[in-house]
Structure 1
Amino acid sequence: MKTYMLLLYANEAGGEALTPEDTAMWMRKMGEYSDALGKADAFVSTAGLGRSRDARTIHANKDELQVHAGPYADTQEQLGGYYLIRAADMDAAQAWAARCPAALWGHIEIREVQH
């Protein structure tokens, strides 16, 4: 088995505009997805990330460290969370990503974790 990271991207403003009822529904669906991963012994970990507006990006320029407010890239979608899963290969990881409810409102990037 290999380890894959599913990087969940979505528009933060869209998520912030959801009603509390819709937010609860989507969180329930994400919980069901986590449960399915667990039953298949594919679950490693998951977490949401803080808002991108609270992020800091650092860059070393010669001997000076530069700190910038916000994420590295200014995009319409922001990295909002991840799943770390076990799968036999990229095709199996892709099948799990396709089942993730986050694919319905954003994009999921799949990367093999190098050990």
Structure 2
Amino acid sequence: MLYALLAYHVEDVVVSWTADQDTTVMANLHEIHERLTADGQMGPAARLGGTKGAFTLRGPGAGVVIDGPFAETKEQLLGFYVVDCETRDEVIAVARDLRKVNPSAAYEIRPVQLFLPGSPKEATHALSDYVRGAS
């Protein structure tokens, strides 16, 4: 099953890191990425830009564009991973590995279903096959 690991952190803490501190955290995370890739579990991942560049579309009809993400928590969503794990315990172990090298981050874990309008639900397996490198 595919899971999204949403990485939350207090953005002011992350931007206060020196270049060396940031490089160290990213290098440590990369070691986990390499292991997950070798195990065929790593899907797309991204480090998101700062919330100062974010904007939100909300409201009825065409909606209104508002500057900022307007998260209602102290932490902001700073990145995400998509991993392929067989069990809930397995994906929790992956999140714990990520947190070991970035201990002040929080990881929200959600099952992922591929959204392909008009396609049968089984199309979700296409994303799972992509993560595993199958054609």
Normalising by structure 1, report the TM-score: 0.89
SS of corresponding position for 2:3 = strand
| Gap change, CA 1:64 and 1:47, over 3 Å in 2 | closer
Residue identity over aligned pairs, in percent, reads: 28
Task: For residue 16 of structure 1, report the CA deviation from its aligned partner.
Answer: 0.8
Task: For residue 74 of structure 1, report the CA deviation from its aligned partner.
Answer: 3.4
RMSD over aligned Cα atoms: 1.5
SS of corresponding position for 1:82 = strand
User: What is aligned with 1:42?
Assistant: 41
Unaligned runs of 5+ in 2: 114-123, 125-135
| Gap change, CA 1:103 and 1:22, over 3 Å in 2 | closer
* Separation of aligned partners in 1, 2:54 and 2:12: 16
* Separation of aligned partners in 1, 2:89 and 2:58: 35
For residue 84 of structure 1, the aligned residue among 82, 85, 89 is: 82
User: What is aligned with 1:74?
Assistant: 72
1:110 corresponds to which letter in structure 2? I
* Separation of aligned partners in 1, 2:66 and 2:72: 12
1:28 corresponds to which letter in structure 2? A
User: What is aligned with 2:59?
Assistant: 60
Aligned partners of 2:25 and 2:102 also within 8 Å? no
The yes-or-no answer on 1:22 pairing with 2:29 is: no
Aligned partners of 1:97 and 1:103 also within 8 Å? no
Unaligned runs of 5+ in 1: none
Task: For residue 72 of structure 1, report the CA deviation from its aligned partner.
Answer: 3.7
Where do 4+ consecutive residues of structure 1 move more than 6 Å?
Answer: none
Greater relative contact order: 1 or 2 (C-alpha under 8 angstroms, separation 6 or more)?
1
User: What is aligned with 2:32?
Assistant: 33
Task: For residue 64 of structure 1, report the CA deviation from its aligned partner.
Answer: 5.1
Work out the number of aligned pairs and report it.
113
* Separation of aligned partners in 1, 2:102 and 2:12: 17
| Structure with the higher fraction of residues in helix conformation | 2
The yes-or-no answer on 1:8 pairing with 2:7 is: yes
| Structure with the higher fraction of residues in strand conformation | 1
